Structure 1
Amino acid sequence: PMLKMYTLGHKIDMKPIKGDGLRYHGASPIISLLRNKGYIDTIAYPGDEKYVFETAKIFMKTEGWLPAPESAYSVCCAIEEAIKCKESGEKKVIAFNVSGHGFLDIPGYKSVLGIK
């Protein structure tokens, strides 16, 4: 690559997921740099899209809108961090990114969550 980034390798075979925008083998160069310098941390939710979508459902019920499937992963991590802070009494700012709404992705949510 022309820019440094974290990658799983271009020959990685990833299984299909509803958050299809996440199926790229590399992280963006700016995210990679921020991670490398220790400004941010990263987390992965391999193979548990149902868990991720369940937390997106919580977000929808509390915030009033459904995040895009890709953003559901970010929402999931933010909710987990908030729960950790609540349990430990730690106060901190939790920043996360949401790329858009998931109202066009409702069929994908339904299939993962087993909703008819």
Structure 2
Amino acid sequence: MLNVHAKAVDPTVDGGAQLQQVVNIECLSDFTDAPVLDIQFRYGGTLQKIAVKLPVMLNKFFQPTEMTSQDFFQRWKQLGVPQQEVQTIFKAQHPMDTDVTNAKVNKTLLL
């Protein structure tokens, strides 16, 4: 499930003009299929509909941020809102192979 916020734009766009629509998407639960954004508009008095699959990806931690320990813990404490933290416990569908898991973790640590 997604929570979508779009900034308001002018309802009319002149021919040849462009505008930017800023959309913020917050993932509220896991999903496997790409979310679809349904766009509706009128062109020449006729309703047009377009369905666009969104390339939604996690991006909050792709770039490192330098900060003091005080700044870090201040941000960490702000994550206390229940909607910002989720834990799910589930049964594995297949048994874990400890040797394979150790090899993957060690390979990741070496990179």
TM-score by length of 1: 0.22
When Rg is computed on C-alpha atoms for both structures, the one with the higher figure is: 2
Q: Which structure shows the higher strand fraction?
A: 2
Q: Which structure shows the higher helix fraction?
A: 1
Higher relative contact order (CA 8 A, sep 6+): 1
